[in-house]
Amino acid sequence: MGTSAIVAGVGMIKFAKPGASDSYDQMGAAAVRAALKDAGLSYSDVQHAYAGYVYGDSTCGQKALYQVGMSGIPIINVNNNCSTGSTALYMARQAVESGVADCVLAVGFEQMQPGALTSHWTDRPTPFDAFDAACDTLVGHGDVPLALRYFGGAGKSHMEKHGTELADFAKIRAKASRHATRNPLALFDKEVSAEEVLAAPVMWEGVMTRLMACPPTCGGAAAILCSPSFAAKHGIDTTVQIKAQAMTTDYASTFEANDMMQVVGYDMTAAAAKQVQEASGIAIDDVDVVELHDCFAHNELITYEGLGLTPEGTAQKFIADGDNTYGGRFVTNPSGGLLSKGHPLGATGLAQCYELTHQLRGTAEARQVEGARTALQHNLGLGGACVVTLYQAA
């Protein structure tokens, strides 16, 4: 590994419901302008760019970035399902650490459509053939939307193995809403109690209510990474550094374990978390704040264990003890998470980076985690890929 990557600037726009947002290119451009302003740089300083999105034609990255500048730099378009934003960040960090470029931009954006996620290609195999077959075999319930079957099925597996209850998922959603009240960029910022979450319309009897699922939203977020030498030359704040980062894809256990927790990426998460700890020499207990992929409250719960925040089978106690919020061991999703911001696929991972950068700078205002110096980011996409990033304040 070469030089460390410094997070020079971050930008994010408030996410919006489908149909209520600007177009994808306008959102991406706005996020980039905000990141450049935050870094005190101009677009001409950027040497490479990685643009992440899932639902769009080829070269949407150029369409967005050309609104900010046209300088002839390499622009690489990235699509890695729900982990797209973090994949763009992963590639930007590699470019800086390898010495390929000194100042690199990662931007993610998504203009979502209302309703459940769906494939736009019906004349060719879907990447989810094997995943869907596993879901049909392990879960059934063909009347339930597929994404709910995936993550609800994973939560149900945890319930059956460890005695987790529906109320535990409700507590996670209530916690997310409390955090969201402190975040001006949270779209859903009304506080709800665990009882209100349980009383919400039932999506799957005994497994999930509507408030336990994040909705699709539209948005954009961006980060600029640079080398220490570039930072020194341009007077850039070097407070936040990426100390280690790992990307994993599926293992044979995804299907061989016959467990929905594995189908939705539990082993990818565990392996990536282990890799960043080994690469950085920083133990999980040294982490202060976490932004993790809570597309469903169920995924947040199993991810506590996948990341090693609490031993396997102990998430229920972890939640009951308040170790997932302010005053506990790890403040998880101080932004309110996907449950409160929604999930514009390409932007999600970079919105997590935005939050953690402000936490480590000490500029997170009402949601500031006191004394935060080490942060962990987890962004997961089915199909599959998982990116775990460990940040530290200099």
- Residue 116: name the closest of 150, 93, 91, 139 by CA: 150
The single residue of 60, 82, 103, 218 carrying the catalytic annotation is 82
Do residues 212 and 298 lie in contact, with contact meaning Cβ atoms separated by under 8 Å? Answer: yes
Q: Is 82 a catalytic residue?
A: yes
Residue 253 burial by Cβ neighbours in a 10 Å radius (0-12, 13-18, 19+)? middle
Task: Point out the residues that are catalytic.
Answer: 82
